[in-house]
Structure 1
């Protein structure tokens, strides 16, 4: 792959990422990501970075990540990489599941234990809900059969709660104005 192709891929990825993040979260995300990107050396954090991208973009379960393969590679996609050395030992479910807490610790975020592989899967669904994606698409994306599970993510979406609250307030205000005008005309 030449440098132009590489730049085109990076640009396409940036466009895709920018359309997934809620506007309110963008600045906080950019600050944390840029801090992580500048300080987190690929020799130690490359597998974690790739894993985070796949977990959020694909709403992947840790089992799905550790079983991920590349067509032309006979081994797992993720191999154990530490202190600048790669071994043939594949990354396991527990290591993959701890990656978010490793990043949270690195970024000095509070409640590091709350950052799990599952929280990234929830983040993926919540980002979709915040973007206005319907329940059927969220269910399909995350592989859920139950609408109740998918709706749980939509309920927890701050963007969705704000949107609904605004609809209620606008609906109430419009209704109240209409009633007031109708009463005063009589």
Structure 2
């Protein structure tokens, strides 16, 4: 019988494949110093104990563990996730650890920087801030952005992120401070070198033939904070734009699952981004209506009022269980509580369908609870 040759499928993530291979190779080199000992729980415990001075944060240790778990299983068919002592050791490293979190900008800070900072020095940072916060862009997404990814269409700029972390392209639309974007593009167009990168080195009103590296993007939030004379400017790390994006989203009442840092597939209703039916016809003709999103201008405006609870009938939020509206509903601005008494359901009610209805009358999500006859449920919904 003729055997069919099957090529080895790609088992490592393409973007971080080199890091996986490097980490595994360093581990095997370390094993050689231990007389090429076979992989075991004791060996890995010794390895992570020695790496303790290098991998200082628990998250770094867990990242190393995850990489080794994958590569060792692929190359040696050994599942180190079964090593319970190793996992217990790594969990103990979390004790007393306080992760470093980036500070965030508020609307007043954003407007102050965009309107008052001199363009001769800060124009590139302004454009990076606009795109970083509006599109909740990661640093590498800004760094890898191409000229063809930014298109002007009437009264808006359409920005496309073709290679997001999920592998699904996404778009967002800039509608405010467009003069800054146009001004930078004009300087960028004067570069004669054949380079497709959108962000090029900018200094004193001129772009140079040098792409902006990712380390520069990591430093931009801190530089902006220093210009604004903010306290602890170094605390504005490379994640400041994405965290600011999530914070602004929460301020206008968007649910947590609508943050782009939580769900890449819901960018069209993400922070300072909201659907708008008034987009110009040039935008509609881009053959990507489902991916198209629009900046909510009020978020970057001082005139935006705080979100207030509206108790009118038109803005009523209701829950329905198996088609019947919940009568006793405890609800606040960011939390709803549903109490379900098991006596309300017969033994035939094996599936309880819970539907939340927003003020537009459309269900926003559905929860299906199976095998729930004759039981009491308390469901807390935070948003």
1:37 correspondence with 2:115 = yes
Is structure 2 residue 175 aligned with structure 1 residue 56? no
Residue of 115, 123, 127 corresponding to 2:248: 127
Matches within 5 A, 1:95-174: 95-138=216-259, 141-142=260-261, 144=263, 167=332
Structural mapping, 1:63-78, within 5 Å? 63-71=140-148, 74-78=195-199
How far apart, in 2, do the equivalents of 1:106 and 1:93 lie?
21
- Give the match's secondary structure for 1:117: coil
- Structure 1 residues 119 and 67, CA, compared in 2 at 3 Å: closer, same or farther? same
In structure 2, the gaps of 5 or more residues are 1-105, 150-188, 190-194, 265-305, 308-330, 337-383
1:47 aligns with 2:124: yes
TM-score by length of 1: 0.56
Q: CA deviation at 1:119?
A: 1.6
Aligned to 2:364: none
Judge conservation of contact 2:200–2:209 (CA < 8 Å) in 1: yes
Superposition map of 1:72-91 within 5 A: 74-91=195-212
The equivalent residue for 1:156 is none
Please state whether the residue corresponding to 1:88 is helix, strand or coil. strand
- SS of 2:231's equivalent? coil
- For residues 135 and 70 of structure 1, the distance between their equivalents in structure 2, rounded to whole angstroms, comes to 32
Contact 1:55 1:117 (8 Å CA) reproduced: no
**Per-residue CA distance 1:99-118 (angstroms, 9 max, x = gap):** 11111101111101011220
SS at match of 1:142: coil
Aligned partners of 1:134 and 1:35: how far apart in 2? 28
Inter-partner Cα distance in structure 2 for 1:47 and 1:121? 18
Distance verdict in 2 for CA 1:57–1:35, change over 3 Å: closer
Extract unaligned runs of 5+ from structure 1.
1-24, 146-158, 161-165, 172-186
The offset of 1:127, in angstroms, is 1.2
Rg larger for: 2
1:71 aligns to what SS in structure 2?
Answer: helix
Query: Equivalents in 2 of 1:142, 1:70: separation in Å?
Result: 24
Residue by residue, what CA displacement relative to the aligned partner does 1:8-39 show, whole Å, maximum 9, x if unpaired? Answer: xxxxxxxxxxxxxxxxx65xx06x6336622x
Please identify which structure carries the higher helix content: 1
Higher relative contact order (CA 8 A, sep 6+): 1
How far has the Cα of 1:137 moved from its partner?
A: 2.2
TM-aligned CA deviation for residue 85 of structure 1: 3.1
Question: Could you tell me how far 1:124 is from its partner in structure 2?
Answer: 0.3
Contact 1:36 1:107 in 2 (8 A): no
> What's the CA shift for 1:48?
0.1
